């Protein structure tokens, strides 16, 4: 009996992926746990392996096609018991039947693919989140213009239609082709970059996003590091960095202002008594946000070791899906690239993200005198649907206080 190979669960809030590359072709003999296809999400690339040894059947999804979780990818004819030693010698005969069977399947592709969850999409198809919102608002696919891969309707398309029904019509005139200059180079966006772009735009369209700013005198944190760095490294084997100082400051502030650590789910608000802290780190394919689970229970050393491990895994491309899901609040540090000020975008469905920036010496007034201090601008982007302006500003002030004087965390004031 053939075994169906489907798109696996891809992590929290991830419902679709793109077929990046088929590593094996119909008729190929594969071993158990041998990778057969590579899927790509907005977070990581995932290899789907054969559950057992056998011969691959026809492909139900093509490369560059978007597929949903649970969609059929291909089938596997189990290898017959006792046939392993002769498998190589009989390879041509064994491959002949599946390959011959695959040819008519391609010719009749529309028929079997129509009932499968992973068919080639048409302009009327909609992603799961979009379908749910369409049903809630009594909309049909004919009313909307899909901007997703293959013309699929995204959640952002539905939100855009609800905001301006007159502007969103499927019958809009097609955009005329662009005349490229000979000095220009046209390069197709990577699958990962396309997905990131779509999800970031959906985050903007979904949340009532607002950003508030403050600045921190880093003198206290720098003095703390200078005084205890050698002892810290000697005891824990890792350097004391600014990220752990900010992480502890953020955790304390989130406990005081729980709405910023909460999430909107329909008409409900989900409050949490824990903090899963997302830390943005750079990887070969762009920025990823692995999650420090239960950061509120971790010490400075534990946080530093976890972040160091994330950085190494990101550079090597070995981050796992479970390390990239479940975050409740995020921190991103553009300062390592020289950013002076920015407005970070929310990592949906989270309600807040803190942006750190570069440290620069600037003249500031202290006790009536102008002095030179190492200063950092910080930014909090938040979802105004759940977080009030007063809460956001107060949260940022508390982070500022906790970083400027880390002793506050010891005596909990």
Catalytic (active site) residue 388: yes
DSSP for 183-211, written as a single string:
T----PPPHHHHHHHHHHHHHHHHS-EEE
Query: What is the SS3 assignment for 368-386?
Result: CEEEEEEEEEEEEEEECCC
DSSP state of 60: S
Q: Which residue out of 122, 294, 322, 388 is catalytically annotated?
A: 388
| Contact between 292 and 279 (Cβ < 8 Å) | yes
Strand-pairing partners, residue 329, are 277
| Contact between 100 and 49 (Cβ < 8 Å) | no
Pairing of strands 35-40, 45-49: antiparallel
Q: In b/e form, how buried is each residue of 209-229, taking b as 16+ CB within 10 angstroms? A: bebbeeebbbebbeebbeeee
Between CA 280 and CA 278 the distance in angstroms is: 7
Q: How far apart are the first and last CA of the chain?
A: 66
Q: Which residue out of 122, 230, 322, 384 is catalytically annotated?
A: 384
Q: How many CA atoms lie within 13 A of 50 on its CB side?
A: 25
Q: What is the total residue count of the chain?
A: 413
Q: How many Å separate Cα 67 from the centre of its chain?
A: 17
Catalytic (active site) residue 357: no
Residues with catalytic roles: 384, 388
């Amino acid at each position: 009996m053939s075994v169906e190979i489907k798109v696996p669960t891809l992590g929290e809030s991830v419902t679709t992926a793109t077929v990046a590359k088929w590593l094996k072709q119909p008729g190929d003999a594969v071993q158990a746990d041998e990778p057969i296809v590579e899927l790509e999400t907005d977070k990581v690339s995932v290899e789907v392996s054969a559950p057992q040894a056998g011969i691959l059947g026809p492909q139900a999804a093509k490369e560059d096609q978007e597929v949903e979780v649970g969609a059929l990818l291909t089938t596997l004819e189990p290898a017959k018991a006792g046939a392993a030693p002769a498998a190589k010698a009989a390879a041509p005969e064994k491959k002949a039947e599946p390959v011959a069977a695959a040819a008519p399947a391609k010719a009749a592709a529309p028929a079997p693919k129509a009932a499968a969850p992973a068919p080639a999409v048409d302009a009327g198809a909609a992603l799961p989140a979009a379908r749910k919102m369409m049903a809630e608002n009594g909309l049909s696919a004919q009313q909307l213009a899909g901007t997703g891969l293959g013309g699929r309707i995204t959640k952002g398309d539905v939100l855009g239609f609800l905001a301006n029904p007159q502007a969103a019509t499927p019958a809009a005139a097609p955009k005329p082709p662009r005349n490229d200059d000979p000095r220009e180079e046209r390069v197709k966006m990577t699958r990962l970059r396309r997905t990131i772009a779509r999800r970031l735009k959906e985050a903007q369209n979904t949340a009532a996003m607002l950003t508030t700013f403050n600045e921190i005198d880093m003198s206290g944190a720098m003095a703390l590091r200078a005084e205890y760095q050698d002892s810290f490294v000697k005891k824990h084997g890792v350097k004391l960095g600014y990220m752990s100082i900010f992480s502890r400051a953020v955790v304390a502030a989130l406990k005081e202002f729980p709405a910023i650590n909460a999430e909107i789910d329909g008409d409900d608000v989900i409050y949490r008594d824990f903090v899963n802290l997302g830390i943005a780190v750079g990887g070969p394919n762009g920025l990823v946000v692995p999650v420090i689970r239960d950061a509120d229970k971790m010490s400075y050393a534990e946080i530093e070791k976890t972040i160091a491990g994330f950085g190494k895994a990101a550079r090597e491309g070995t981050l796992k899906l479970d390390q990239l899901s479940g975050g409740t609040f995020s921190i991103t540090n553009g300062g390592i690239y020289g950013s002076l000020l920015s407005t970070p975008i929310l990592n949906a469905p989270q309600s807040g993200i803190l942006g750190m920036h570069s440290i620069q010496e600037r003249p500031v007034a202290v006790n009536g005198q102008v002095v030179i201090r190492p200063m950092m601008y910080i930014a909090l982007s938040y979802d105004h649907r759940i977080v009030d302006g007063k809460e956001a500003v107060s949260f940022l002030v508390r982070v500022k206080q906790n970083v400027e004087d880390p002793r506050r965390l010891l005596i909990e004031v």
